[in-house]
Amino acid sequence: MDKDNANPTILNVSELPTRQNKKKAVTPGKVTELDLGIVLRRPEYLSAPFCDVPWASDDTDSDDGFTIEPIDEQEIYDLISTISDPEHPLSLGQLAVVNLPDIHITPSPSAAADPNTLTQVLVKITPTITHCSLATVIGLGIRVRLEQALPPNYRVDVMIKEGTHSQDDQVNKQLADKERVAAALENATLKGVLDKMLETCV
């Protein structure tokens, strides 16, 4: 099958936004390069559960952490930038399909939040070319990844970044449709593609 975009622009892994001392288990095989090019958005003591914190033991890092530390944009980025592109052997972060400035959390992360308070995570994705037919699949992968990883009070909205895709309204509407997303996950072929994309996430 011909790829929609045979020559995408690829970012060096070391240029991707991350935190210092990123936990090695998050992106096996790539983590060794991640210590360079740090974007330090918050002091380390506030960093989210996927990072090493001295007082948290290694096996209680994910689920237990949600109620302790607020989830910020960097953590959302970490969850989805490692998803593999469905047609290139590269991650969505490397292809700049997902970008840290295009992730928005409302209301802003705060440690005091009630676990019942709805929190919107809006991810605007940038398909590699304007007619990329896989934009829907990529968006679906991001929505599924975040819905699996985030607590139930999070509402995940994935949209195509304005002006980057020729059919963005249509794709946005599909990605926002709970019933379509649920049905898509019961489609064995599509589920196979999604599972493969998410294999590179830990």
Residue numbers of the site for another protein (CB under 8 A)?
A: 115-116, 118, 151-153, 155, 173, 176-180, 182-183, 186
Query: CB of residue 1 vs another protein: minimum separation in angstroms?
Result: 24
Residue 34 or 175: the one with the smaller Cβ distance to another protein is 175
Query: CB of residue 187 vs another protein: minimum separation in angstroms?
Result: 9
CA distance 121 to 90: 24
Using alpha carbons, select from 149, 154, 158 the residue that is nearest to residue 126. 158
Residue 111 or 178: the one with the smaller Cβ distance to another protein is 178
Query: CB of residue 35 vs another protein: minimum separation in angstroms?
Result: 36
| Tokens 């249509």 -> residue | 170
Strands 103-106 and 119-125: antiparallel
Residue 62 or 120: the one with the smaller Cβ distance to another protein is 120
Query: CB of residue 150 vs another protein: minimum separation in angstroms?
Result: 10
Sheet holding 154-160, edge to edge: 103-106, 119-125, 154-160
Residue 133 or 170: the one with the smaller Cβ distance to another protein is 170
Using alpha carbons, select from 202, 196, 66, 71 the residue that is nearest to residue 141. 196
| Tokens 């699996």 -> residue | 148
